[in-house]
Amino acid sequence: MTTATKLKKATFKHIESELYSYKDTLKEIEQLRKDIMFCNENDDENIGGGRNIIPSSPTERIATRLMTHKRLNQLEEVASAIQKVYTGIPEDYQKLVRLRYWTKPQTLTWEGIAGKLFITSRTAQRWRDEIIYSIAETIGWR
Protein backbone atom coordinates (compact mmCIF):
# COMPACT_ATOMS: atom_id res chain seq x y z
CA MET A 1 0.00 0.00 0.00
CA THR A 2 1.37 3.37 -0.95
CA THR A 3 0.54 6.86 0.21
CA ALA A 4 1.73 8.74 -2.86
CA THR A 5 -0.48 11.82 -2.61
CA LYS A 6 -1.89 13.53 0.42
CA LEU A 7 -5.65 13.21 0.85
CA LYS A 8 -7.77 16.18 1.73
CA LYS A 9 -8.81 16.07 5.37
CA ALA A 10 -12.50 16.03 4.42
CA THR A 11 -11.95 13.09 2.05
CA PHE A 12 -10.09 11.18 4.75
CA LYS A 13 -12.94 11.76 7.21
CA HIS A 14 -15.53 10.82 4.59
CA ILE A 15 -13.83 7.49 3.90
CA GLU A 16 -13.63 6.83 7.63
CA SER A 17 -17.33 7.57 7.84
CA GLU A 18 -18.00 5.10 5.04
CA LEU A 19 -16.00 2.47 6.91
CA TYR A 20 -18.03 3.06 10.07
CA SER A 21 -21.29 2.69 8.15
CA TYR A 22 -20.19 -0.15 5.84
CA LYS A 23 -22.66 -2.69 7.26
CA ASP A 24 -25.50 -0.15 6.98
CA THR A 25 -24.43 0.61 3.41
CA LEU A 26 -24.74 -3.07 2.49
CA LYS A 27 -28.25 -3.15 3.97
CA GLU A 28 -29.18 0.04 2.10
CA ILE A 29 -27.91 -1.41 -1.19
CA GLU A 30 -30.03 -4.51 -0.65
CA GLN A 31 -33.11 -2.43 0.18
CA LEU A 32 -32.63 -0.12 -2.81
CA ARG A 33 -32.29 -3.12 -5.13
CA LYS A 34 -35.51 -4.63 -3.73
CA ASP A 35 -37.33 -1.30 -4.09
CA ILE A 36 -36.21 -0.94 -7.70
CA MET A 37 -37.02 -4.53 -8.67
CA PHE A 38 -40.39 -4.86 -6.95
CA CYS A 39 -41.74 -1.32 -7.18
CA ASN A 40 -44.53 -0.70 -9.67
CA GLU A 41 -43.75 2.95 -10.26
CA ASN A 42 -44.45 4.29 -13.68
CA ASP A 43 -41.37 6.33 -14.57
CA ASP A 44 -42.74 7.35 -17.95
CA GLU A 45 -42.02 11.05 -18.40
CA ASN A 46 -43.09 11.00 -22.04
CA ILE A 47 -46.10 13.29 -21.70
CA GLY A 48 -46.83 14.01 -25.28
CA GLY A 49 -45.91 12.63 -28.70
CA GLY A 50 -42.95 10.58 -29.73
CA ARG A 51 -41.89 7.08 -28.91
CA ASN A 52 -41.12 5.94 -25.42
CA ILE A 53 -37.42 5.06 -25.09
CA ILE A 54 -37.92 2.96 -21.93
CA PRO A 55 -37.84 -0.77 -22.73
CA SER A 56 -41.24 -2.45 -22.77
CA SER A 57 -40.12 -5.73 -21.22
CA PRO A 58 -40.35 -5.71 -17.39
CA THR A 59 -36.98 -7.45 -17.06
CA GLU A 60 -35.28 -4.91 -19.31
CA ARG A 61 -37.00 -2.07 -17.46
CA ILE A 62 -35.76 -3.35 -14.08
CA ALA A 63 -32.23 -3.88 -15.42
CA THR A 64 -32.21 -0.37 -16.86
CA ARG A 65 -33.38 1.13 -13.57
CA LEU A 66 -30.75 -0.84 -11.63
CA MET A 67 -27.97 0.29 -13.97
CA THR A 68 -28.97 3.95 -14.04
CA HIS A 69 -29.85 4.53 -10.37
CA LYS A 70 -27.24 7.06 -9.24
CA ARG A 71 -27.50 6.47 -5.48
CA LEU A 72 -27.30 2.70 -5.88
CA ASN A 73 -24.27 2.98 -8.16
CA GLN A 74 -22.46 5.27 -5.74
CA LEU A 75 -23.15 3.03 -2.73
CA GLU A 76 -22.05 -0.05 -4.65
CA GLU A 77 -18.83 1.65 -5.75
CA VAL A 78 -17.89 2.59 -2.19
CA ALA A 79 -18.87 -0.80 -0.75
CA SER A 80 -16.97 -2.59 -3.49
CA ALA A 81 -13.83 -0.53 -2.84
CA ILE A 82 -14.00 -1.22 0.91
CA GLN A 83 -14.52 -4.94 0.29
CA LYS A 84 -11.68 -5.10 -2.24
CA VAL A 85 -9.21 -3.35 0.06
CA TYR A 86 -10.38 -5.30 3.12
CA THR A 87 -9.86 -8.67 1.43
CA GLY A 88 -6.47 -7.61 0.09
CA ILE A 89 -4.89 -6.49 3.36
CA PRO A 90 -3.11 -8.69 5.94
CA GLU A 91 -5.09 -10.31 8.77
CA ASP A 92 -3.73 -7.84 11.37
CA TYR A 93 -4.99 -4.91 9.29
CA GLN A 94 -8.38 -6.64 8.94
CA LYS A 95 -8.55 -7.03 12.70
CA LEU A 96 -7.81 -3.32 13.06
CA VAL A 97 -10.74 -2.50 10.74
CA ARG A 98 -13.06 -4.82 12.66
CA LEU A 99 -11.99 -3.41 16.04
CA ARG A 100 -12.01 0.25 15.06
CA TYR A 101 -14.88 0.55 12.60
CA TRP A 102 -17.17 -2.47 12.81
CA THR A 103 -17.37 -3.12 16.57
CA LYS A 104 -20.47 -1.58 18.10
CA PRO A 105 -20.54 0.00 20.59
CA GLN A 106 -17.01 1.31 20.18
CA THR A 107 -15.35 1.28 23.59
CA LEU A 108 -11.68 1.01 22.61
CA THR A 109 -9.27 3.89 22.15
CA TRP A 110 -6.28 3.69 19.82
CA GLU A 111 -4.24 2.45 22.77
CA GLY A 112 -6.80 -0.30 23.45
CA ILE A 113 -6.89 -1.39 19.82
CA ALA A 114 -3.08 -1.34 19.65
CA GLY A 115 -2.92 -3.45 22.81
CA LYS A 116 -5.18 -6.11 21.27
CA LEU A 117 -2.98 -6.15 18.15
CA PHE A 118 0.29 -6.11 20.17
CA ILE A 119 1.54 -2.97 18.41
CA THR A 120 1.97 0.70 19.35
CA SER A 121 -0.90 3.14 18.90
CA ARG A 122 1.19 5.04 16.35
CA THR A 123 1.59 1.87 14.28
CA ALA A 124 -2.16 1.26 14.49
CA GLN A 125 -2.82 4.79 13.22
CA ARG A 126 -0.27 4.30 10.43
CA TRP A 127 -2.07 1.10 9.40
CA ARG A 128 -5.35 3.01 9.44
CA ASP A 129 -3.86 5.67 7.17
CA GLU A 130 -2.67 3.01 4.73
CA ILE A 131 -6.13 1.44 4.64
CA ILE A 132 -7.88 4.79 4.10
CA TYR A 133 -5.45 5.77 1.34
CA SER A 134 -5.93 2.41 -0.37
CA ILE A 135 -9.70 2.83 -0.35
CA ALA A 136 -9.36 6.37 -1.72
CA GLU A 137 -7.08 5.12 -4.49
CA THR A 138 -9.48 2.29 -5.36
CA ILE A 139 -12.44 4.67 -5.58
CA GLY A 140 -10.41 7.35 -7.35
CA TRP A 141 -10.89 10.06 -4.75
CA ARG A 142 -8.25 12.61 -3.85
Q: Is 71 part of any domain?
A: yes
User: Distance between CA 28 and CA 10 in Å, rounded?
Assistant: 23
pLDDT in tens, 38-47: 875 555 555 5
pLDDT top residue among 67 and 125: 125
Answer yes or no: are the C-beta atoms of 96 and 117 closer than 8 Å: yes
Number of structural domains in the chain: 1
| Domain assignment present for 19 | yes
109 part of a folded domain:
yes
Residue 126 lies in a domain: yes
The domain in which residue 119 lies consists of 9-39+56-139
The average pLDDT across 126-140 equals 96
Q: In the structure, what pLDDT confidence band is assigned to residue 93 with cuts at 50, 70 and 90?
A: very high
Cα torsion 90, 94, 12, 5 to 10°: value is 0
Confidence of residue 55 (pLDDT cuts 50, 70, 90): low
Would you state the pLDDT for residue 137?
95
Residue predicted with more confidence, 36 or 78:
78
Q: 3 pLDDT band (50/70/90 cuts)?
A: very low
Residue 1 falls inside a structural domain: no
User: What is the percent of the chain with per-residue pLDDT over 90, rounded to a whole number?
Assistant: 59
- In sequence order, which ranges of the chain are alpha helices (DSSP H)? 9-20, 22-38, 58-68, 70-88, 91-101, 110-117, 121-139
Let me know if residue 46 belongs to a domain: no
**Residue 83 pLDDT greater than 60, yes or no:** yes
**pLDDT beyond 80 at 54:** no
Average pLDDT, the chain: 85
